[in-house]
Chains A and B, each alone.
Chain A
Amino acid sequence: DAKTTQPPSMDCAEGRAANLPCNHSTISGNEYVYWYRQIHSQGPQYIIHGLKNNETNEMASLIITEDRKSSTLILPHATLRDTAVYYCIVFWGGGSNYKLTFGKGTLLTVNP
């Protein structure tokens, strides 16, 4: 079962920032937060990941709360091509676990 909770859907105006929340209240100290997205008819695409510090790359920013029980993915200037299902995943690659456990994600619709 997924260890994260996300809203089923969100809307955002084109050009505005999209802020996608994720709750992961049972996250372990060594688990990272990963974000993937899936555009219709394509496979999931990696966006960003982090442990406890805020992270930024060319696609997005990831803000993790100090207690690590929730996080927010920020797309600073959403475009129509950002319309997709966004998945928040907690993952630790240690031991013998290599699988990503996906929930249902958040369908982000960017409107013109």
Chain B
Amino acid sequence: DAGVTQSPTHLIKTRGQQVTLRCSPKSGHDTVSWYQQALGQGPQFIFQYYEEEERQRGNFPDRFSGHQFPNYSSELNVNALLLGDSALYLCASSLGETRRLAKNIQYFGAGTRLSVL
């Protein structure tokens, strides 16, 4: 049973560039959440996608956008990269039918390490 997979594992970009990160959810899952984790900090929620729509968004600027495809996979796009965007980007998947329940367990991928120079 494949877990959550993210690609690429590492990425180096320069300021002002754009980046796209990809996530395939755990088999059977239809909801994808994205988190940003700066060094030494806990993950911070960016947004969640369900039924190909953004359902909730954290405190991140519009430079951060996403998409969910019919096969439930998802992309995170970041435009006009800043040095402060350097972080580990984590994707988590869960079952949509549990979104409003206590047992909304999210399964995380290993993340994409983005370095902005």
Contacts and interface: CB of A to CB of B under 8 A. Distances in A.
Nearest to A45: B108
Interface of A: 2, 32, 41-46, 49, 51, 87, 91-105
B48 A98 contact: yes
B101 interface: yes
Shortest beta-carbon contacts, A-B, top 6: A43-B108, A102-B42, A99-B45, A93-B104, A32-B102, A44-B108
Interface of B: 4, 31, 33, 35, 40-45, 48, 55-56, 58, 90, 92, 98-111
Output the residue of B33, B42, B110 with the most chain A CB within 10 A: B42
A96 B56 contact: yes
Given A44-B108, A46-B107, A100 B45 contact: yes
B111 A43 contact: yes
Contacts, number: 67
Output the residue of A32, A100, A105 with the most chain B CB within 10 A: A100
Contact of A98 (B56, B103, B111): B56
20 contacts: A2-B42, A42-B110, A43-B109, A44-B43, A44-B90, A46-B106, A49-B102, A91-B102, A93-B98, A93-B104, A96-B55, A96-B56, A98-B99, A99-B33, A99-B56, A100-B33, A100-B35, A102-B42, A104-B40, A104-B42
A85 to B, nearest CB: 8
B101 A102 contact: no
Contacts of B55: 96, 98
Contacts of A105: 42
Nearest to A34: B105
B41 to A, nearest CB: 6
Contacts of A102: 35, 42-44
A32 B99 CA distance: 14
B45 A103 contact: no
A62 B55 CA distance: 31
